[in-house]
Amino acid sequence: MVVPVSSKKGRYQLHVVQPPQEAPVTASRLGPPSDRKYFARPRGRFVLDPSISAPGEVELDLALVRVQLAWSVDANEGRVSLDSAKRYAKDCEGFVRYAASRGVDRLGSVTPTLVAEWLHAPGADGLPIGVNRRRARLGALRRFFDALFLAGYWDVNPARSLNEPRTQERFVSPLSEGQIGQLKRTAARRVDSSKVPAALALILLGATPREAGYVRRGDVDLVNRRVFLHGGSGWYHDRWVPIDDEWAFEALRTRAAVIDSKLPLWGDSAPVLMVYGPRSEVATPEHRAASIAGSITDLMKAARVYRKGVTRVESIREYLAVRHFEGTGSIEGTAERLGMSSLDTVAHIIGVDWAARFRIDAPKPEVSTERW
């Protein structure tokens, strides 16, 4: 399409307007578009809230309540992730408490120096925090002051001038075949409950603790030996995964039989979740994820495969990633099994340089003072 455009050199200069192009699909991304939600950013000019006399002239506690209310409304209406809203609100509460301990109780008195001090303050246990935790704090404060700008409380973002190093690479520590076998044997001895073996089975098949808390009885297809995983909150996409582990199949079949036998007692209105009974109807996804992660961590401790700071629940999925890649040789297939869209992250987990086969094996040009 050709349109006339006014310019200094020619009022009727013609510019060719190209139609918008779709975002390129690169080799480092896989899967459908992410449905992750994002917090609103300031757009346009600042408009002062009529309830305050000047920008920043408000108590820091009241500003926090205002932001928490706005985030709560956004989360309930689906504009932002409920998990992120709660996590950011908790970090902002910590900052307000820290500011109060430094004698700062008004929004306009917050400075980049105060923010930097809080970013490097010890955690609740009194121990120094790492780079990733500092970046999380910084992200929360940036969203906090952005929300205050939109609310008309303050037109300054003291967290914008600060920065932290890039997030460190994900720590990888997959369990071994022997450790997985010990986990299964320990879970099988829990004859009083079929929930923990079922939770372990789902994670062995590729579910995260959050996804395991979403799996319903109808998501488990024992006839075709597959499970539908969902509820990854935008970080992991929905997918079918095969039940290719015989122990996991037996654990899920046992749990399904228990659920089927209790359905007449529970009634039609009861939620039919694989790892939870009907009394868990009010449990939030965060509570279910935390409960499952805690149960699996306790199981790892009982099986003597847990090492603080080394192995964790994600070590089970990392074991699956390594085993799946060894069996298929496909990074893309492994990413799909885990529900992940980043091939770089999956390659880091399995220890493979996926781009190596595309590189041209040639030395770099010698440095020369000539023009070419």
SS (H, E, C) the chain: CEEEECCCCCCCEEEECCCCCCCCCCCCECCCCCCCCCCCCCCCCCCCCCCCCCCCCCEHHHHHHHHHHHHHHHHHCCCCCHHHHHHHHHHHHHHHHHHHHCCCCEHHHCCHHHHHHHHCCCCCCCCCCCHHHHHHHHHHHHHHHHHHHHHCCCCCCCCCCCCCCCCCCCCCCCCCHHHHHHHHHHHHCCCCCCHHHHHHHHHHCCCCHHHHHHCEHHHEECCCCEEEECCCCCCCCCEEEECCCHHHHHHHHHHHHHHHHHHHHHCCCCCCECCCCHHHHHCCHHHHHHHHHHHHHHHHHHCCCCCCCCCCCHHHHHHHHHHHHHHHCCHHHHHHHHCCCEHHHHHHHHCCCCCHHHCCCCCCCCCCCCCC
| Cβ neighbourhood burial of 94 (10 Å; 0-12, 13-18, 19+) | middle
pLDDT reported for residue 206: 95
pLDDT for 40 equals: 77
The verdict on 64 and 124 lying in the same domain is: yes
Read off the pLDDT band of 289 (50, 70, 90).
Answer: confident
Whether 298 maps to a domain, the answer reads yes
What pLDDT, in 10s, does the model give residues 206-257? Answer: 999 999 989 998 899 999 999 999 988 777 889 999 999 999 999 999 999 9
CATH of the domain at 138: 1.10.150
Whether 114 and 215 share a structural domain: no
My answer on whether 223 and 111 are in the same domain is no
Residue 158 lies in a domain: no
Structural tokens at position 159:
């967290």
Q: Is 316 inside a domain boundary?
A: yes
**pLDDT for residue 93:** 95
Which of the two residues, 187 and 5, has the higher pLDDT score? 187
Same domain for 126 and 186: no
Find the range with the poorest average confidence among 137-151, 163-177, 207-221, 347-361. 163-177
Give the pLDDT confidence score for residue 248 in this predicted structure. Answer: 95
- Please report the pLDDT score of residue 132 as a whole number: 76
Residue 124 lies in a domain: yes
pLDDT of residue 192: 59
Whole-model pTM?
0.63
Confidence grade of residue 81 (pLDDT, cut at 50, 70, 90): confident
Mean pLDDT highest for which of 235-244, 344-353, 360-369? 235-244
Q: Averaged over 85-110, what is the pLDDT?
A: 93
Quick one: pLDDT band at residue 359, thresholds 50, 70, 90? confident
Do residues 82 and 223 both lie within one domain? Answer: no
The CA–CA distances, whole Å, from 217 to 18, 147, 193, 295 equal: 51, 41, 17, 20
Pair 205, 343 in one domain: yes
* Same structural domain, 344 and 206: yes
Q: Which of 103-107, 198-202, 285-289 has the lowest mean pLDDT?
A: 285-289
Could you tell me the residue range of the domain that residue 141 belongs to?
35-151
Query: Is residue 25 situated within a structural domain?
Result: no
Q: Is the pLDDT of residue 61 over 70?
A: yes
Residues 113 and 228 both lie in one domain: no
> Are 50 and 88 part of one and the same domain?
yes
Partners of 2 in the β-ladder: 16
Q: What is the pLDDT of residue 194?
A: 79
Q: Is residue 17 part of a domain?
A: no
What average pLDDT does the segment 83-112 reach?
92
Q: Across residues 145-155, what is the average pLDDT?
A: 92
Domain count, the chain: 2
Domain end marker among 100, 134, 151: 151
CA distance 239 to 32: 11
Whether residue 68 is predicted with pLDDT greater than 80 in this model: the reply is: yes
Greater model confidence, 9 or 306 = 306
Identify the band that residue 9 occupies on the pLDDT scale cut at 50, 70 and 90.
Answer: very low
Average pLDDT over residues 57-85: 87
Q: What is the pLDDT of residues 118-144, one digit of tens each?
A: 999 988 878 888 877 888 899 999 999
pLDDT of the residue at 133: 85
| Same domain? 248 vs 344 | yes
Q: What is the pLDDT of residues 268-283, one digit of tens each?
A: 555 688 887 555 554 6
Tell which wins on pLDDT, 25 or 168. 168
What's the CATH number where 207 sits?
Answer: 1.10.443.10
Instruction: For residue 220, give the nearest of 183, 173, 258, 193 by alpha carbon.
Output: 258
- 131, 211: one domain: no
Same domain, 126 and 207: no
In this structure, is residue 249 part of a structural domain?
Answer: yes
Query: Does some domain include residue 170?
Result: no
